[in-house]
Amino acid sequence: MATATNYTVRLDADLRREAETLFAELGLNLSTAFNIFLRKAVDEGGIPFEVRRRRPNAETRAALLEAQALLDDPNTTWYDSSEKLFEELDK
């Protein structure tokens, strides 16, 4: 068996509590979870999951598509100020 060594890691306190709760539900402690992560990273030759920006949820994606459609529509009316917009709405 390999000799164990200690390593100190700085963690956000809330993240640590959430992780400890999760891993406890899985029957693991934080040290075992880190070891699993490191073993998997070594086995795969890299981070064992995709590292990417979070995707917006469905509602946000729909809003972004709607905004892009408005930008692309030559018939979209644009206003220089909120006052002009409200004037148009009052008509």
Residue 1's pLDDT is what? 63
Residue 3's pLDDT is what? 87
Residue 73's pLDDT is what? 95
What string of pLDDT tens digits covers the 91 residues of the chain?
Answer: 678 899 999 999 999 999 999 999 999 999 999 999 999 999 999 999 998 888 899 999 999 999 999 999 999 999 999 999 999 899 8
pLDDT in tens, 63-89: 999 999 999 999 999 999 999 999 989
Residue 54's pLDDT is what? 83
Q: The pTM is what?
A: 0.56
Question: Of all residues in the chain, what percent are helix, strand and coil, respectively (each to 5)?
Answer: 55, 0, 45
What single-letter amino acid sits at 63?
A
Question: Are the C-beta atoms of residues 47 and 41 closer than 8 Å to each other?
Answer: yes
